[in-house]
Amino acid sequence: MTALSDVSTHAMASARWRISEVAFWVLALACAFLFPSRYLIMTDIVRLGLFALSLDLILGYAGIVSLGHAAFFGVGAYSAGLLALHGIINEPVIALVAAGLVAAVLGFLTSFLVIRGADLTRLMVTLGIALLLEALAERFSDITGGTDGLQGIEMQPILGLFAFDMFGKTGFLYSLIVLFVLFLLARRVVHSPFGLSLRAIRNNPLRAAAIGVPVNRRLIAVYTLAAFYAGIAGALFTQTTALASLDVFAFERSADLMLVLVIGGTGYLYGGLIGAVVFKMLQELFQSITPQYWLFWIGLVLVVIVMVGRARIHRLVLFVPNLIIRQFAGRKAAVAVPESEAS
Amino acid sequence: MASILTNLFDGVAYGMLLFVLACGLAVTLGLMNFVNLAHGAFAMAGGYICAVLVNNSGWPFFAALPLAFVGSAVIGIALERTLYRHLYSRSHLDQVLFSIGLVFMSVAAVDYIMGSSRVFIKLPAALEGQIDLFGVGIGRYRLMIVVICGLLTLALQLILAKTRFGSRLRAAVDDPRAAIGLGINVPQVFAFTFAFGCGLAGLGGALSAEILGLDPYFPLKFMIYFLIVVTVGGSSSITGPFLASLLLGIADVAGKYYVPKVGPFVIYTVMIVILLWRPNGLFGRTAAR
């Protein structure tokens, strides 16, 4: 067997759908019927999961540390809000794609700034772009509504058929479907040769360039794609809450997002989704214990995760499920720790 | 004309303040290559220590300033010995996450202990008002800041360039392995430098309460300013961050005064452009690692 066919069989094998994955999505859908009173928070989780998926594409797969991913979320949110407010595109799904495309254009333009320089420069540039957009949104308050945010957004029914109801059931199912479709796309992308080349770049850009991977072009492409995802997440935020305010650009949003991804684990697509569930539950827990000071506990979780070591925590958490799977299925564990953590 | 000079002076004072706040970060981030986003938390600690001493215990302002320095330095060295030193060799992502976590904890903790509203430090009467110098109005408080920060800068430059400790630090930064081989206790040098940087931040925090405002969100609000000073100034010397802080201070004050609506916009744009033009900072020599 040649090395090339070996690589492709390996890639094909890892791209195959597993039972646990199917179970995950069935469970997600079942939530819609199991907890009919918790639609709002579940929508929140789905949105956050999509946003984290977006960050995972650039952080987990391409190794770009971004502190300003909220920039694209915010652009998506404001685009969707403005489109709906001025009645430019009334149909939510088309507006969603349009908002995603606006974010993607911004992502494409800023990617040239981001691929230059080392980690520190990237951190600063991404953070600077998010702050810049926040300042812009505040400055052009006649368009964005300034600190009051966009008000009076009325969403039309999805595809002209399903109206948003006040309990948020439509919103939840809509978000879940959007997440699922985009997840399928992301899954296809990361298991493609393109996705494999991204991982090569993350592990060693110099070596990747030496074997003929066009490093910069790949990074630009994945950054644009991630911006598209983040824009869609932002648009979902506006569409399901009928709200867009300056805090969509806030630094805390980007920082929380990193925590979500770190809880779930970087470098595999379910990391963001699982992280979103755990993060929201933690947040709810802390907010019910100390409504005002939950930020402290979130910070403590971050510090503890880093001090103990991210890989070690994931191994601990996955120890029991993997043991069970090994016992019963008699094969390698389905949910594995990503082979190498992003640096 | 006079208002231009007054603004210029305010900008210089603001810039010098930023330098004292950020120069500790220039060492940890620029020289030791540790991304410490929590630097502002140490500044905030100094500010609150000073505020408590002056407002609640009735200490004179000038006696509380050194205590702000010492308090922050002690907190800094405690954290360095227990937490930070394990992270020097870790990835930047880990360092970012860890320090963001620290910022969140400090914000909530200060909010819990001191309340969320802005804190003012009672100033001695001698520091209030303006003096008139050749027709230019100069705030007494700002004049004091310029004097203190100017002296500190000189002292820092002398320590780095002339003393044995300064040469040890430079050696440890240039090549830690060779420095250890020469018998320099590198971890100790780093710990001491870290504590000193935190102390300076604390002093800066105490001085800045009047100008920048002191509330629990201080570390988040000014994080970007500290980072700008270090990344734009570069890390090869102390002059780079100093000039960058002056530039930033003057630009920020002028921006807020003359074009209040686009002020922050200008600063972020300039920062991004400078970083793209020279990724190692305006005055940097060493490659960004």
Tell me the pairing of strands B130-133 and B136-139.
antiparallel
The whole-number pLDDT of residue B23 equals 84
pLDDT value of residue A264? 83
Q: Which residues of B touch A113 (CB under 8 A)?
A: 272, 276
* Distance in Å, alpha carbon of B115 to nearest chain A alpha carbon: 11
Are the beta carbons of B83 and A298 separated by less than 8 Å?
Answer: no
Structure tokens of A187? 């899954």
pLDDT band at A342, cuts 50/70/90? very low
B81 inside 8 A of chain A by CB: no
Hey, where are the domains in chain B?
Answer: 2-218
The span from the CA of A116 to the CA of A131, in Å, is: 19
Residues of B in contact with A146 (CB under 8 A): none
Nearest-by-Cβ selection for A132 from B87, B96, B268: B268
Interface test with A, best of B81, B104, B222 (most A CBs within 10 A): B104
- Could you please report the per-residue DSSP string of A289-331? H-TTTHHHHHHHHHHHHHHH-HHHHHHHHHHHHHHHHHHHH-S
pTM reported for the whole predicted model:
0.84
Q: Least CA distance to B84: which residue of chain A?
A: A307
In this predicted structure, what is the pLDDT of residue A340? 42
- Ranges A261-270, B78-87, B211-220, B274-283: which has the least confidence: B274-283
Q: For the ranges A151-165, A179-193, B180-194, which has the lowest average pLDDT?
A: A151-165
Asked if B264 and A292 come within 8 Å (Cβ–Cβ), the reply is no
Tens of pLDDT along A141-156? Answer: 777 777 777 777 777 7
Tell me the average pLDDT across B227-239. Answer: 78
Mean pLDDT confidence for A262-267 = 83
| pLDDT exceeds 80 at position B48 | yes
What ranges do the domains of chain A cover? 19-250
pLDDT of residue A285 exceeding 80, the answer is: yes
Nearest to B103 by CA among A251, A130, A296, A308: A296
Chain A residue numbers with beta carbons less than 8 Å from the beta carbon of B265 are 132, 135-136, 139
**Contact (Cβ atoms closer than 8 angstroms) between residue B275 and residue A120:** no
pLDDT of A181 > 90? The answer is yes
Q: What does the pLDDT look like over B7-44, one tens digit per residue?
A: 888 888 889 888 888 888 887 777 777 888 888 899 99
| pLDDT higher than threshold 80 for residue B2 | no
- Tell me whether residues B101 and A119 touch, CB distance under 8 A: no
Supply the pLDDT for residue A227: 94
Judge whether B268 is closer than 8 Å to chain A, CB to CB.
Answer: yes
Name the residue of chain B whose CA is nearest to A130's CA.
B268
Taking chain A, what is the end-to-end CA distance rounded to the nearest angstrom? 33
Contact of B282 with chain A, judged by CB distance below 8 Å, is answered with no
Chain A contact set for B260 (CB, 8 A): none
- Please indicate if any CB of chain A lies within 8 Å of the CB of B271: yes
pLDDT tens per residue across span B126-154: 777 777 777 677 778 888 888 888 898 88
CA–CA min distance B127, chain A (Å): 34
What residues in B contact A130, CB-CB < 8 Å? none
Q: Residue A343: pLDDT above 50?
A: no
pLDDT averaged over chain B? 83
Q: Average pLDDT, whole number, for chain A?
A: 82
Which member of B93, B228, B289 has the closest CB to residue A342? Answer: B93
**What are the chain A neighbours of B80 within 8 Å (beta carbons)?**
none
Name the residue in chain B with its Cα closest to that of A301. B101
- Give B-chain residues touching A306 at CB under 8 angstroms: 87, 90, 94, 97-98, 101
- Structure token pair of residue A325: 């799977």
CB A111 within 8 Å of CB A215: no
Q: Are A64 and A120 a contacting pair, CB within 8 Å?
A: no
